[in-house]
Structure 1
Amino acid sequence: MNGLWFSGWRHVFKLDPDRELSDETLDRICTSGTDAVIVGGSSGVTFENIVDLMARIRRYEVNCALEVSTLDGAVPGFDGYFIPLVLNTNRAEWITGWQTEGLKEYGSFVPWEETAAQGYIILNAEATAAKLTEAQTELTEEELIAHIRMADRLMRLPVIYLEYSGRFGDMQLVKRARTAIAHAQLFYGGGIDNAEKARQAAEAAHTVVVGNIIYNDLDAALSTVAAVHEVAGGMYTR
Structure 2
Amino acid sequence: MIDFRGWRHTFKLDPDKPIDDEALEALCESGTDAVLVGGTYGVTYDNTLELMSRIRRYAVPVVLEISSLEAVVPGFDAYFVPLVLNAGDPDWLFAPHVAGLRDYGSYIHWEEIFAEGYLIGNPDASVARLTKAKPIADAEEAKAYARVAAKLCRLPIVYVEYSGTYGDPEIVRACKAGAEDAHLFYGGGIRTVEQAVEMAQIADTVVVGNIIYEDLKAALATVEAVKRPVV
Partner of 1:202: 200
Residues 1:127 and 2:125 aligned together: yes
| Aligned-pair CA distance for 1:228 | 0.7
Partner of 2:210: 212
CA RMSD of aligned residues (A): 1.3
TM-score (norm 1): 0.94
Q: Map 1:212-231 onto structure 2 (within 5 A).
A: 212-230=210-228
Partner of 1:40: 38
| Aligned-pair CA distance for 1:71 | 1.1
Structure 1: how far apart are the matches of 2:5 and 2:200?
Answer: 14
Structure 1 outlier segments of 4+, above 6 Å: none
| Aligned-pair CA distance for 1:4 | 6.4
The answer to whether the 8 A contact 1:5-1:114 is kept is: no
Partner of 2:187: 189
The answer to whether the 8 A contact 1:172-1:204 is kept is: no
The one-character-per-residue Cα deviations of 1:149-200 (angstroms, maximum 9, x if unpaired) are 1111110111111111111111122122212222210000011001111000
Structure 1: how far apart are the matches of 2:88 and 2:174?
Answer: 24
Structure 2: how far apart are the matches of 1:103 and 1:139?
Answer: 33
The answer to whether the 8 A contact 2:149-2:155 is kept is: yes
| Identical residues among aligned pairs (%) | 51
Please identify, of 196-205 and 139-148, the stretch whose mean Cα deviation from structure 2 is larger. 139-148
Unmatched tracts of structure 2, length 5 or more:
none
Residues 1:234 and 2:230 aligned together: yes
Q: Map 1:135-214 onto structure 2 (within 5 A).
A: 135-214=133-212
Structure 1: how far apart are the matches of 2:189 and 2:88?
Answer: 26
| Aligned-pair CA distance for 1:52 | 0.2
TM-score (norm 2): 0.97
Unmatched tracts of structure 1, length 5 or more:
none
Structure 2: how far apart are the matches of 1:67 and 1:142?
Answer: 27
- Number of aligned residues: 231
Partner of 2:71: 73
Structure 1: how far apart are the matches of 2:45 and 2:3?
Answer: 24
Q: Map 1:83-122 onto structure 2 (within 5 A).
A: 83-122=81-120
